[in-house]
Amino acid sequence: MQQYNPVTPKILTELKAIVGEKYAFDDPDKLETYSRDETPDSKYAHQPEVVVLPGTTEEVAHVVKLANRERISIVPRGAGTGLACGAVPVTGGIVLSLERFDRIIEVNPEAMYMVVQAGVRTDEVQKAAKAAGMFYAGDPCSGDSCFIGGNLATNAGGNRAVKYGTTRHQVYEFEMVTPLGDIVHLGSRLNKNTSGYCLEQLVMGSEGTLGIITQATLKLKPLPAHVIDLLAVFPDVATAIAIVGHMLRAGLTPTCVEFMDNATVQSVERFLQEKLPNSDIGHYVIIQMEAESEEDLENKTVALDDLCSAHGAISVLVADSQKIWKARKAFTEATRVESAVQSFEDVVVPVNRIPEAAEACNRIAAKVGLTLRMVSHAGDGNIHITLFRGDLPETEWDRRLGSFQEELYEVVYRMGGRLSGEHGIGYKRKDLMQRFTDPVELDMMRRIKNALDPNLILNPGKIFDVE
Ligand SMILES: Cc1cc2nc3c(=O)[nH]c(=O)nc-3n(C[C@H](O)[C@H](O)[C@H](O)COP(=O)(O)OP(=O)(O)OC[C@H]3O[C@@H](n4cnc5c(N)ncnc54)[C@H](O)[C@@H]3O)c2cc1C
C-alpha cells in the first residue's frame, strides 16, 4: 500500500484553525473510539493520528485539500456501526467524523422529500418523516445508531429492501466533497434523468473511497394504511427459507421477509430473557405485509397463513410487532455473548438459490468444525452468518475460518452470488474481493479510483488495493 506522510504538530495546528480548537484532537484515549467499527475482532483495529470533526461542508473541503497537499490519508466516518472495517484508518492519518452534521434541514410532505445532513441517525430520519405523516423506507437493523451518510456510503440494505430496495433507491441527490476537495451535488430531484453518467449511483456503496457525503435529499412515501407482522415457524432451515420463493411466485408482495435459525432464536431468548414462541424447535420467518384497507389486510393474512401452512409451517401467528422486531434486531448482541470473537459473513445469492446457499453454510461449517448462527434478509437472498471463535487458539481459528470462506465463496460465486449483500467489502474482505472478482471489473474500479483520487488519499486500503 502507498506510504503517507505523518500528521505533524504544525498540521494539527492548521487542522484546528480550519475546524475549531476543540474539534481536532490527537489525545490517545480519545483516538481509541475511532480505531475500529463494530467488527468483533480487535486484530482489525488501527489508531488514527488525529480526528477532526468539521461543522460545515466548506470545512470538510478545506481538510481534504490540506490532506492532498500534505499527502496524508483521510477516512470518512459516520457512526462506526460498519461491519467491514470501512471506517478503520488502516494507514493512520486523519479520521474525519461527520458527527456534527446532525441537522434535519427540511421535511416537505407535499413534494415528498426531506433534506438531512449526513450525521443524522437513521431512526431520526424515520421519526421525522413519520411526524410529517410520511414514510422513509430505508431500515437497516442498526437504525437506532447508524448515520444516514453511512447508509448512503455503504448502500445499506435492511428489512424493507424486499419491497422498497436498498438505500440507493431512497435518494434523490446529495452533496459531497470530492477526493480533491471540491464541493459537488450529485443526482437531482427528478424521476428520470439521462443527462450524462449516473455518478450518484457510483458513489453510493463506494464506502467512502470516492467522496465524503455531507447532505442528502431523500425520497418520502405515503405512510402505509395498515401493516401486519406474521411469524411463521418451521421445523427445519430448508423448509423455512423455501417459503420465500413460494411467496414471491404466489404474487404476494411482502415488505420484509426475515429468517432466524433456531440456535439464533434461542440465543436471543436467553439474551432478552423473554419467552419466544416455539423456541425449542422452531426456525423463524418474520413476514411483514402492508395493505390499503382492512379487507385487503385480512385477505393477505389469510393467503399467507394458507401458503405457509401448505408449505410446512408448524404455526403461523400474528406477531407482537414490537417483541418480534426487538428479537430480530438483538441477534448481534445476543450472539456476541456466546463468543466475543466472531466473523460475520454477508453473502448474497439470487433469491431462488437461497435454500441451497443456506444448506451450504451449515454443511461447510460442520465440515470445518465451526459453530454458526444464521439470520437472513431472506427476501433479498442475503444471508448473515456469524461464526464463533469460542475457545479456539488463534491459528486454528484463522485456519478453519479461511477454509470455510474459501469453500463457501466458491459455492456462492458459482450460484451467481457475491461476497457482500449490504455490509460492504471495507478492509476486512479486500483479499477475498481480489480473489473472487473478475480482473477486468476490478481494473475498471481501480481506474475510476485513480481518476477521481489521483493522490489516493481518500480511505485507502478499502475494497481493493490500487497499486
Ligand atoms: C447490530 C447491527 C445491525 C446492522 N444491520 C444492518 C442492516 O440491516 N443492513 C445494513 O446494510 N447494514 C447493517 N449494519 C451495518 C452498518 O450499520 C451499516 O453499514 C451502516 O450503513 C453504517 O453506517 P455508519 O454511519 O455507522 O457508517 P460507518 O461504520 O462509520 O462507515 C461505514 C463506511 O461508510 C463510510 N462513510 C461513513 N459515512 C460517510 C460519509 N458521510 N461519506 C462518505 N463515506 C462515509 C466509511 O468510510 C466506511 O467505509 C448493521 C450493523 C450492526 C452493528
Q: pLDDT tens, 278-293?
A: 999 999 999 999 999 9
**What is the chain's pLDDT, residue by residue, as a tens digit (467 residues)?**
789 999 999 999 999 999 999 999 999 999 999 999 999 888 899 999 999 999 999 999 999 999 999 999 999 999 999 999 999 999 999 999 999 999 999 999 999 999 999 999 999 999 999 999 999 999 999 999 999 999 999 999 989 999 999 999 999 999 999 999 999 999 999 999 999 999 999 999 999 999 999 999 999 999 999 999 999 999 999 999 999 999 999 998 899 999 999 999 999 999 999 999 999 999 999 999 999 999 999 999 999 999 999 999 999 999 999 999 999 999 989 999 999 899 999 999 999 999 999 999 999 999 999 999 999 999 999 999 999 999 999 999 999 999 999 999 999 999 999 999 999 999 999 999 999 999 999 999 999 999 999 999 999 999 999 97
From residue 6, how far is each of 72, 154, 459, 467 by CA, in Å?
7, 28, 15, 20
Give the nearest ligand 1 atom to 377 CA: 8
Beta bridge partners of 316: 232
Secondary structure letter of residue 168 according to DSSP: G
Residues spanned by CATH 3.30.70.2190 within the chain? 226-329
From residue 294, how far is each of 141, 150, 187, 224, 322 by CA, in Å?
28, 37, 38, 12, 20
Residue with CA at minimum distance from ligand 1 atom 52: 142
CATH number of 339-457: 3.30.70.2740
Beta bridge partners of 174: 186, 216
Residue with CA at minimum distance from ligand 1 atom 46: 87
pLDDT the model gives residue 391: 94
Pick from 38, 39, 52, 77 the residue to mutate for probing ligand 1's pocket: most ligand atoms within 8 Å of its CB: 77
Identify the residues whose C-beta falls under 6 Å from ligand 1. Answer: 37-38, 75-83, 86-87, 98, 118, 140-142, 146-147, 149-151, 153-154, 156-158, 207-208, 212-213, 332, 422-423, 426, 459
pLDDT the model gives residue 208: 98
Give the nearest ligand 1 atom to 148 CA: 25
The CATH architecture to which 226-329 belongs is: 2-Layer Sandwich (3.30)
From residue 274, how far is each of 23, 144, 235, 269, 326 by CA, in Å?
43, 21, 21, 5, 11
The domain over range 9-97 is classified in CATH as 2.40.110.10: no
| Arithmetic mean of pLDDT over the chain | 96
Residue with CA at minimum distance from ligand 1 atom 2: 142
pTM: 0.96
Residues spanned by CATH 3.30.70.2740 within the chain? 339-457
Q: How far is the CA of 154 from the centre of ligand 1 (A)?
A: 6
Pick from 83, 200, 343 the residue to mutate for probing ligand 1's pocket: most ligand atoms within 8 Å of its CB: 83
Residues spanned by CATH 3.30.465.10 within the chain? 104-222
Quote the CA–CA distance of 400 and 96 in Å, as a whole number: 36
pLDDT the model gives residue 150: 98
Pick from 91, 101, 141 the residue to mutate for probing ligand 1's pocket: most ligand atoms within 8 Å of its CB: 141
* Gyration radius of the chain's alpha carbons: 22
Residues spanned by CATH 3.30.43.10 within the chain? 9-97
Quote the CA–CA distance of 106 and 216 in Å, as a whole number: 11
The domain over range 104-222 is classified in CATH as 3.30.465.10: yes
